[in-house]
Structure 1
């Protein structure tokens, strides 16, 4: 019953919500995907006494992975996470970003899957949820799509650790008016629970919720819908801390 609460609340409000959605799309500034290469190498800020082979990070996701809300790909989540890990682990981190504005999980399976390299990656980040929330994807469908993407990633990339990011807190997005914000926030919460259940059922997989006060406008881009450079940095710190908690002292990844 609880997973259907957003739909139950939305039904009597549907004409109002549709009107709010159309108006929000019309008046919200359209921000482009960030410029620059979608791959790179981050070096530790401290000097290292020996040559260390780079660890690898690859992200698959929607607009934040594509860099919407920041100017360059080096400011986007994949590069910022790689830089944070490079600093924490004092070793080079190579990174690659596969992101698209407006993408859902099923879009990624269709569009990104065929282009994933057939190579071993240390850490893979999967970051979706906003577009599946606005599309009112059912929890069951979202869970199935996410599980299919995880299986595809495991087959192609063979990650040591797979990180499923939580759905952003839509109930706090300044760009969304009420009651649309409340209803979408409830939908995001149900998809969050679905993502957590997928992670808990998979080996070498963790779920990392986004802990951010989106009411702090400094953490949001000018559109009030995407994270700013400061918001991305905070998110990268949370992800890096969770990843670091799943490696041993010799930087070997823990298994579950």
Structure 2
């Protein structure tokens, strides 16, 4: 925890409790957590792992959620059939993902593995070194599930400082925390591991009713940005 967060701890605790009381609890998106986007051969296999945005909290169905939108964006770039599967659960941290989520990705090796984590670690003020160790351990666990020549895309953390439901100074402290953890993701980039910065979320209609999770429009924009990193148009 940063010195600023320590100094503000009493205020942050009160504000955090208030946010939890007044923020509606939205369900994960309904619908299948796997699918096929038609296209040409050879097919592209995609696995998505993550916390509530990956689970589709904020939209009604998986069709409008991040995983399906990501698969559609990839199909639009390469013209290939995309077979996707999702393992996601609200409230999951990077450390918890090893047990909670990785087993749910069992299946054919994936050409693209998308990891959407970090907001829950931000809310828990997870230290940078611990977060880095957690993500490294997760990358090791994902290696057997990644096809030869495949890529793991680490979704960048959204700008938590812009989440409407968060008051100041809580918003500012969590915003700085999210930027710090996102910086650690950038440091983990290596051959086969890419970092995809989150697009800005400051336009109208980009938040769900809770003022915290991405709307369907935000999922579309985010999926496009992720696909730009996973499968650049030049390839």
Cα deviation, residue 247, structure 1: 6.8
What's the secondary structure of 2:42's corresponding residue? coil
TM-score calculated relative to the size of structure 2: 0.95
Change in CA separation of 1:36 and 1:75 when aligned onto 2, cut-off 3 Å? same
2:20 match: 25
Structure 2 distance, partners of 1:39, 1:118, is 11
**Residue in 2 that maps onto 1:72:** 61
How many corresponding residue pairs?
234
**C-alpha displacement at 1:22, in angstroms?**
0.3
Which residue of 1 is the match for residue 130 of structure 2? 141
1:153 CA drift (Å)? 0.4
Cα RMSD of the aligned pairs, angstroms, is 1.5
CA contact (8 A) 1:43 1:87 kept: no
How far off its partner does 1:205 sit?
1.1
Establish whether residue 181 from structure 1 lines up as the match of residue 181 from structure 2: no
Name the counterpart of 2:159: 169
Matched, 1:42 2:37: yes
- Hey, what's the Cα distance between the residues in 1 that align with 2:100 and 2:48? 14
TM-score, reference length from structure 1: 0.87
Q: Which of 211, 217, 221 lines up with 2:208 in the alignment?
A: 221
Corresponding residue for residue 252 of structure 1: none
Deviation at 1:68, TM superposition (A): 0.3
2:81 counterpart of 1:92: yes
**Shift of the alpha carbon at 1:227?**
0.3
Q: Does 1 or 2 have the higher relative contact order (CA < 8 Å, sep 6+)?
A: 2
Check conservation: 2:58, 2:213, Cα contact below 8 A: yes
Q: Distance in 2 between the 1:108 and 1:188 partners?
A: 18
Equivalent residue number for residue 123 of structure 1: 112
User: Which secondary structure does the structure 2 equivalent of 1:102 belong to?
Assistant: coil
List alignment gaps of at least 5 residues for structure 1.
1-5, 45-50, 249-256
Aligned to 2:141: 152
- Residue 99 of structure 2 aligns with which residue? 110
- Note if contact 1:117-1:157 (Cα within 8 Å) is conserved in structure 2: no
Contact 2:112-2:146 within 8 A present in 1 as well: no
SS in 2 for 1:92: strand
The structure 2 residue matched to 1:16, chosen from 8, 11, 24, is 11
